[in-house]
Amino acid sequence: MATTAWHPRPASWWERHMVPRLIGCACAQPQIMKARSRIVPQASGDVLELGCGGGINMAFFDPTKITSFSGVDPSPALLERSREAAQAIGLEADIRGGVGEALPFADASFDTVLITFTLCSVDDQAQVLSEMRRVLRPGGKALFLEHGGAPDASVQKWQRRIEPIWKRIGGGCHLTREITGAYEKAGFKIARADKGYMPKSPRPFSWIEWGEARV
């Protein structure tokens, strides 16, 4: 059964109205779109996308690999864009408002969970990863692409300095969160992982990790 106990914090005016615009701009930068193109086409079977708002990944899906598509996002302002983007590539989509900490789907419902640039801003990272495991079928895969804590001490220092202000501007977005290691701690097996700094981007914001984790 789907989890029902999670109660997200109320969104502020800034988070409701300004953060969706900032996300739409920042998350569509050329280097980020290039990174998306490496991971999104690997989604297959019954697919769930966490943080699907805006439909920014839709251009990279391979519809011939997808049996069904579902999506969850907490932003009402972005959900309709996701539905329109899915329709544009011929996907019938079940896209719902919601949060990753309490996914509105039954256990073992999906072959793939896709999550891109989303774990940085969830309220409870461990709970989201637990929910991802719950809704994945045995042998299912989580495809991830995230920015997070850099390995270099000098960059970490600036990430820690910037993060308190950045969280307020970016709707709770963290700069220092663990990425691949968080999947391992949640009980996933890392099948493949890559990482590095995005070129032409400030280093405190540009460390990304992407790959595939298996249940």
Instruction: Give one DSSP letter per residue of 194-206, joined into a string.
Output: EEEEPTTS-HHHH
Contact 15, 35 (CB under 8 A): no
At 197, give phi and psi (nearest 5°): -85, 135
Pair of tokens at residue 176: 């220092």
> pLDDT, tens digit, for every residue of 68-100?
999 999 888 788 889 999 999 988 899 999 999
Q: How far apart are CA 97 and CA 12, in angstroms?
A: 17
pLDDT recorded at residue 205: 92
| E strand spans, 40-177 | 45-50, 66-73, 93-97, 110-116, 136-147
Confidence at residue 5, expressed as pLDDT on a 0 to 100 scale: 47
Sole residue written with tokens 């800034």: 14
Nearest Cα neighbor of 106 from 212, 211, 2 is 2
Q: From CA 118, how far away is CA 122, in angstroms rounded?
A: 7
- For the chain, the first-to-last Cα distance in angstroms comes to 18
Domains and CATH numbers, the chain: 14-206+208-214 (3.40.50.150)
Q: What is the predicted pLDDT for the residue at 39? A: 97
- Quickly tell me which residue has 């980020």 as its tokens: 32
Per-residue model confidence as pLDDT tens digits over 31-59: 889 999 999 999 999 999 999 988 999 99
Instruction: Give the bridge partners for 95, in sequence order.
Output: 71
User: What's the token pair of residue 20?
Assistant: 């969706």
Nearest 5°: phi and psi at 107?
-55, 145
Beta bridge partners of 207: 197
- Please tell me the predicted confidence (pLDDT) of residue 212: 98
Helices and strands, counts by H and E, the chain: 8, 7
- Tell me the pairing of strands 207-214 and 136-147: antiparallel
CA separation, residue 1 to residues 50, 93, 95, 109, 134 (Å): 18, 21, 19, 10, 9
Q: Do 171 and 23 touch, CB atoms closer than 8 A?
A: yes
Positions of the chain with pLDDT lower than 50, given as ranges: 1-7, 14, 17
